[in-house]
Structure 1
Amino acid sequence: PSQDKKIFALQGPCPVIRRLLRARGWVERKERGAGRGIPESSCSSWLPDEEEEEEEEEEEDEEDPEGIHDLMSRLVRDQVPYFIWTTRGSAVRGRLLQPDQVANHYARVGSFTTKEGLCLTLRNLPWFDQADPDAFFPRCYRLGAADERQAFIEDFRLTAARSLLKVALERAQDTGAAPLSLTPRPAPAEGPGAQLVEEALRVCGQHLGSLTHRDIDGDPQPPGATDAAWDGFLRGYYRAVHEGAVPRLSGAQREQGRILLQRLAGRLPQLRMEGDRNVWILKPAAASRGRGITCAARLDEVLRLAGRAAREGRWVVQKYVERPLLIFGTKFDVRQWFLVTDWNPLTVWFYRRSYLRFCSRPFSLRRLDAAGHLCNQAVQRRCGPRGARHPRLPPDNTWSCRQLRAYLAQRGQAGAWGEVMVPGMKAAVVRALRCSQGLVRGRKGSFELYGADFVFGEDFRPWLLEINASPTMAGGTAVTGRLCARVQRDALRVVIDRRDDPSCSTGAFELIYKQ
């Protein structure tokens, strides 16, 4: 931009952006009075359909002992700001911006920045890419829609049948003998236990047949299975898996179960990460910072929570990754930044640095509390350190991706990050954006920085959990303080410096997709 257009406006605490723009010779336009706001004529109200990260960030404005910056701000208070940076996930109305104004948000991005939007949008992926969303996004249902609620119930039941077979086969393998009891509590070879196994085999066999023949109208329930019959099956499943009363398998049942699970694994990308306890996670459809999220492993509990939640707003239920990659027995997720600088053609930049967020309690599916399962830093600060904790885990629950790579290298898995984890994250981000492209109100000249959250399976495959608009830039730890400053610096290199010098450095941002 020309010198007379180097005027910017900020809304919210943005000390890094202010410092970087001032270093480039830009002047901040502040609201009359003491505020830092954006003129009403240039900015919309906050949109309710965007997921926001409202984490507090301390304003650390550098000293201005001679009042030069304040003086310059007063001189441009009636001028148009040509660069607008806002926090809290607001979108700037494109029709109120002049063509040469730049803003750091797009409108109508809720199609991928809310849990409900992402759940719906990714179902359209086959129209945009020859890929299965189940391969990177845990299956998800909107509990407020009657058909999706019923689909979830059927999914829970089918997952329970698979899980029963899995735990019975695993324990049979541990004992090395099919006819022996597989639990400290004796279970009869015949009667309810045997009937439970036969029912699971029948359900899984019919489901496999439905998948094999792509019979989309077929009922996955076995003939004659009523809700009451399913309730009885689930009671037996809970006794077997949650309480350890696993029925013994005959040799024929072992063989049939092994073959069924092997064939289902070829059709169900999520079977490996399911585990055997059938845990699901209930989430508010458009909240952030882990608020309201609950894990449950019983259908009646999920539906009870969903009923209560329905009175409070829209909720989704999503399959929990029961077999995550752990570090020192503790769950973590990765916050991965990416930048969109155009929606037509779609242009995506991926940040080569990211950070890990650890839980404060060791991972266990027998205790579904927030401290062991929700990696969000705001949640973990409320939980505080509890119980035994590995001494090599960071006290502030954060690592850089560089520390993760060093950890993997120590374990002889140095290639996992670059060969599996990063390529999988890139693919998931691009696919989510391609599905949303027709729904977002794109605007030439604007851009937006997003934060995607991933958890990884034991096989290092990434599972996309959510995408946040306005990811927090609060440097609450040494790692986040350093990386959040760098990602803002590099974002300005991409969106400002490249306009004058296309060959300039873009820091750690890498162009990964341009239509």
Structure 2
Amino acid sequence: MAREITEKAIKTNKIFTIQGGYATVRNCLRKRGWVENFFRATEIVKKPAPKTKSDVFSSDDDYDDDDDGIDAEVDVPKVKPWEEEGGLYGIMVGLCVNLRNLQWFDETDPNTFFPRCYRLSHEEEKHEFIDDFNFTACMNILKIVVENYMSWSTLSLQENQIIISAKSNKESERQMEIINEKNTDGKNTPKKAPHVPVLAVMQALKQCELFIDRKENIDVDMDEQELGHLTNSQWEKLREWYYLLVHNNSIIVDLPTTLVNQCEASLKRLQILCPQFYLDGKNSVWIVKPGAKSRGRGITCYDRLEEILKLVDSNVAKRESKYVIQKYIERPLLIYNCKFDIRQWFLVTDWNPLTMWFYRDSYLRFCSQQFTLSKFDESIHLCNNAVQKNYKNGPRAKELPENNMWTHHQFQEYLRNRSLPNIWDELIYPGMKKAIICSMFVSQELVEPRKGSFELYGADFMLTDDYSPWLIEINSSPSMEASTEVTSRLCTKVLEDTIKVVLDRKHDKNCDIGRFEIGYKQSTVNSPPYLSNF
């Protein structure tokens, strides 16, 4: 009987090999009459047995999210630049570099859906990042000035009035003592931060005005450019003043109203010219991602340029040799004051014509601690389940899930309860689809296409608090681990539905394809004809 089944499978070309787990895929193929040719790794490439899980869910569908693929008549295509770079770094570089070419494929500006990103191992891009950090600090100085001008003026006036009257009034002396007590660190030592000079605002404003002129193609006199040029030491001093404002709550006294008005006017223009003006916040936080690591390993946040450059020049960085730095989203949408991201699956079944399928079910991953920018603990900022499972949930709203996951249906219900019943269908989901399509556009010519092949990807998104989706990364061979009740159900279903699309649909175009929907189907791109030199 077994021999007959095997011979039939050979004749019908239904032999498959799976490297890794993927019990769901194995069962789906066997139900369809496929026979497995078992993969046997050599001692060199054998992997350690999966660690025992303390939970009740099986992890058979997730042996290793870095290398596992499904290999049968359907093979996994490889994106060469990503494969050569390897790991998370390769995926990030694919987005970081290739999206800069999006203008040749689509009118969409990548800065409207992908936080800006630089390769720190490339000297030219490292200097571009330094310029970006400095300019962002200048913008943030203007934001801080406009937001705090009135309170600074009031505070400065109160201090001056109390100091003047304290010379002849015992009660005023007591008022001054009360103010000093409020500005201590608990050890009765004054905690008053030094004032930042008006010069800091003038220099920051000048840099912003020069940027605006360049963006608006306004001819800038060379003398004016030279006048606005800052030396390295001047930039260091300006950053020092900026750190005092953002980290030490320093104030700027005697700010002319006209200067504040100029700052406000420049910010209005910058908001139009800078697509990421909103997500930038005021703290200049950047997230550093090391090469060849996944599942959130080695990812850290920084808000001082000097610390970032120190890391890049360290022995650790030289060993890693590959670091990508990306602008941190400082104004994320929070649910009960906790950060989350969204895992969105999509399937590529052909690269020419580019054919993509989007999975209509996705899930949210929450951080275990409440959000703050005053601390950079991974439990606060990294939503990966591989990270969060190592932490106990902190003091949080009881409405948040104990396992730190929601289905997107639960998220939709949350939005409906806040009078936003249509925002998922009208803004969030279409925005995620558009970002993914653009990312595939710029990768299409870099792929070695193989007919009869496919690849399932997992894209991670965050939302800013205006509900705009931002692509963080795209994972090749995403983890399908049944780590919670949510992923236990969804990961099994997406694998089953993937088989429906790539196998069943070959024989019946109207077959059930589960929760997949066609997301994009391109017209065939013809290769240019060979031109002889003779």
Q: 1:19 to 1:215 in 2, by over 3 A?
A: farther
Q: Structure 2 residue aligned with 1:30, among 32, 38, 51?
A: 38
Cα distance in 2 for residues equivalent to 1:220 and 1:487? 56
Cα deviations by residue, 1:245-293 (Å, 9 ceiling, x for unpaired): 0324432122111110110110100011100000001112442101111
Q: Structure 2 residue aligned with 1:205, among 192, 206, 209?
A: 209
Cα distance in 2 for residues equivalent to 1:504 and 1:16? 20
Contact 1:196-1:236 at 8 Å conserved across structures:
yes
Q: 1:177 to 1:421 in 2, by over 3 A?
A: farther
Q: 1:192 to 1:332 in 2, by over 3 A?
A: closer
Deviation at 1:86, TM superposition (A): 9.8
Deviation at 1:241, TM superposition (A): 0.9
Q: Structure 2 residue aligned with 1:456, among 463, 469, 492?
A: 463
Matched, 1:89 2:67: yes
Please name the residue that 2:231 is paired with: 226
Q: 1:314 to 1:298 in 2, by over 3 A?
A: same
Identical positions, percent = 43
Cα distance in 1 for residues equivalent to 2:64 and 2:388? 27
Q: Structure 1 residue aligned with 2:271, among 265, 280, 286?
A: 265
SS at match of 1:125: helix
Contact 2:289-2:298 at 8 Å conserved across structures:
yes
Cα distance in 2 for residues equivalent to 1:255 and 1:107? 50
Q: 1:91 to 1:403 in 2, by over 3 A?
A: closer
Cα deviations by residue, 1:223-259 (Å, 9 ceiling, x for unpaired): 3411100000000000011110032443212211111
Where in structure 2 are the equivalents of 1:264-343 lying within 5 Å?
264-308=270-314, 309-343=317-351
State TM-score, norm by structure 2: 0.81
Q: 1:409 to 1:232 in 2, by over 3 A?
A: same
Q: Structure 1 residue aligned with 2:511, among 484, 504, 511?
A: 504
| One-letter identity of the residue aligned with 2:324 | V
Cα distance in 2 for residues equivalent to 1:221 and 1:245? 30
Matched, 1:253 2:225: no
Please name the residue that 1:397 is paired with: 404
Unaligned stretches of 5+ residues in structure 2: 1-8, 84-88, 160-178, 184-190, 523-534
Please name the residue that 2:359 is paired with: 351
Cα distance in 2 for residues equivalent to 1:59 and 1:388? 29
Cα deviations by residue, 1:204-232 (Å, 9 ceiling, x for unpaired): 1111111111889x998963411100000
Where in structure 2 are the equivalents of 1:62-461 lying within 5 Å?
88-89=66-67, 101-108=73-80, 110=82, 114-172=91-149, 192-213=196-217, 223-248=228-253, 249-308=255-314, 309-382=317-390, 384-385=391-392, 387-461=394-468
SS at match of 1:339: strand
Contact 1:330-1:363 at 8 Å conserved across structures:
yes
Q: 1:215 to 1:273 in 2, by over 3 A?
A: farther
Cα distance in 2 for residues equivalent to 1:495 and 1:458? 37
SS at match of 1:326: coil
Q: 1:59 to 1:401 in 2, by over 3 A?
A: closer
Cα distance in 1 for residues equivalent to 2:487 and 2:153? 49
Aligned-residue CA RMSD (Å): 3.2
Contact 2:60-2:481 at 8 Å conserved across structures:
no
Q: How many residue pairs align between the two structures?
A: 467
Unaligned stretches of 5+ residues in structure 1: 47-53, 63-84
Cα deviations by residue, 1:37-67 (Å, 9 ceiling, x for unpaired): 6x99xxxx99xxxxxxx999986789xxxxx
Contact 1:102-1:445 at 8 Å conserved across structures:
yes
Where in structure 2 are the equivalents of 1:47-58 lying within 5 Å?
none
Please name the residue that 1:477 is paired with: 484
State TM-score, norm by structure 1: 0.83
Contact 2:296-2:386 at 8 Å conserved across structures:
yes
SS at match of 1:278: coil
Cα distance in 2 for residues equivalent to 1:427 and 1:214? 33
Deviation at 1:294, TM superposition (A): 0.6
Q: 1:277 to 1:509 in 2, by over 3 A?
A: same
Contact 2:497-2:514 at 8 Å conserved across structures:
yes
Q: 1:220 to 1:388 in 2, by over 3 A?
A: farther
Deviation at 1:348, TM superposition (A): 0.7
Contact 1:116-1:285 at 8 Å conserved across structures:
no
SS at match of 1:131: coil
Deviation at 1:455, TM superposition (A): 0.6
Contact 1:285-1:315 at 8 Å conserved across structures:
yes
Deviation at 1:355, TM superposition (A): 0.6
Cα distance in 2 for residues equivalent to 1:328 and 1:268? 29
Contact 2:77-2:448 at 8 Å conserved across structures:
no
Q: 1:104 to 1:262 in 2, by over 3 A?
A: same
Cα distance in 2 for residues equivalent to 1:19 and 1:90? 17
Larger radius of gyration: 2
SS at match of 1:123: helix
* Higher mean C-alpha displacement, 431-440 vs 6-15: 6-15
Cα distance in 1 for residues equivalent to 2:219 and 2:24? 55
| One-letter identity of the residue aligned with 1:129 | D
Q: 1:368 to 1:254 in 2, by over 3 A?
A: same
Contact 1:424-1:462 at 8 Å conserved across structures:
yes
